[in-house]
Amino acid sequence: MDKVFALKIRKIFGWITVGLTVFLGALFLGNVLDIYFTGKAKGVGAVVYSREIASQHLATILPFFIFYVVWVIAVLVIYTKFKVDTKPSVYSEPVYIFKRYQKRLISANALFEGDREPLFAQYNSVLDKIKKLKIITLAVWAVAIIAFLVYMFLPSSFTDKNHATEEVLRMAYIVLPIFMVAFAVNIVCNYVISNICNGFLPSFKDLTKGLKPVNTSRFYDNKKFILILRIVIIFIGALFIILGIALKDNDGKNGVFYVLQKAINICTECIGLG
């Protein structure tokens, strides 16, 4: 079968599935919000959710849901019919390739001379720029984390012990925007770094021509160390379990008791009921 044609068919059906999936999700979302806000509008003490209300709303979605399931199965068959063999590709993010070239630089233990000297100087300036961007990223994350920790440990935070949800929401209002900024800065920096790397790749290729890649070893490459570490960690894990069972708290209960108590009692808030 013509590969281009098969790809086209897959694309068309695939994108329709995207639309249907998002639509189905929106239907569920819309209905749950409808139940909630309609219930709330009825005033204090009114029934918000009930089995009947939920069933009525589910009944409106059901035909589309059934259609969706049938559609998904049909597309599965279509994809099998219009099979396209794809060869394994190579991960081609510029930063990744940049790192691979860097591995080769390690084997060049002398400074570059001759025509490679300016390239090497260029490489260093690129590295400098990348470093600066990484520092910016780290700095904004550090600010976000410090802001979070300061908020958490401020005596004025989390004072109203009887209204946990409000306290968490208050924290989210204050801390979340800072994290969003950090996230946005991180993404922008990543894009800039990626562009810088991409721009330098052809020169980097020339700079590292003929050099062998060298893998630097890390702590987990040392087999003896890893063996000892594993034994120590297993020992600590086992010890913790034994202590958890053997030790008792002020009420004479051990760790197992509380795990069991929590597991056999439904805490309705944990499962999102209320």
Binding mask 219-238 toward another protein (x if CB under 8 A, else -) reads -xx----x--xx--xx-xxx
Confirm if 20 and 42 have CB atoms less than 8 A apart. Answer: no
As given in the structure block, the two tokens for residue 257 are 């008791």
Nearer to another protein among residue 88 and residue 114 (C-beta): 88
Residues 80-139 that bind another protein (CB under 8 A): 80, 87-94, 96-97, 100, 103
- Per CB under 8 A, which of residues 235..274 are in contact with another protein? 236-256, 258-274
**φ, ψ for residue 221, nearest 5 deg:** -85, -15
Q: What SS3 state is found at 253?
A: coil
Q: How far is the CB of 117 from another protein (least distance, A)?
A: 21
Distance in Å, CB of 138 to another protein, minimum: 12
Of 75, 274, 105, 106, the residue nearest 204 (C-alpha): 105
Question: Least Å distance between CB 44 and another protein?
Answer: 4
Contact 151, 157 (CB under 8 A): yes
Residue with tokens 């490679």: 116
Q: Residue 141, exposed/middle/buried by CB under 10 A (0-12, 13-18, 19+)?
A: middle
Q: Cβ neighbours of residue 59 under 8 Å, at least 6 residues apart? A: none
Residue from the set 6, 48, 117, 177 that interacts with another protein by CB under 8 A: 48
Nearest to another protein of 121, 234 (CB atom): 234
x-marked contacts with another protein along 4-33 as a string, rule CB under 8 A: ------xx-xxx-xx--xx-xx--xx--xx
Q: How many residues bind another protein (CB under 8 A)?
A: 115
Q: Which of 166, 6, 147 is nearest to 78 (CA)?
A: 6
List the beta strands (DSSP E) in 32-118: none
Nearer to another protein by Cβ, of 112 and 170: the residue is: 170
Query: What is the x/- site pattern for another protein, positions 159-178, by CB under 8 A?
Result: --xxxxx-xx----------
- Which amino acid type is present at position 37? F
Residue among 76, 106, 121, 146 that touches another protein (CB under 8 A): 76
Q: How far is the CB of 13 from another protein (least distance, A)?
A: 7
Is residue 114 a contact partner of residue 207, using CB atoms and an 8 Å limit? no
Please, are residues 55 and 7 in contact by the beta-carbon 8 Å criterion? no
**Between 102 and 122, whose beta carbon lies closer to another protein?**
102
For another protein, give the closer residue by CB, 128 or 160: 160
- Give the tokens for residue 14: 């695939």
According to CB under 8 A, which one of 79, 116, 122, 134 is a site residue for another protein?
Answer: 79
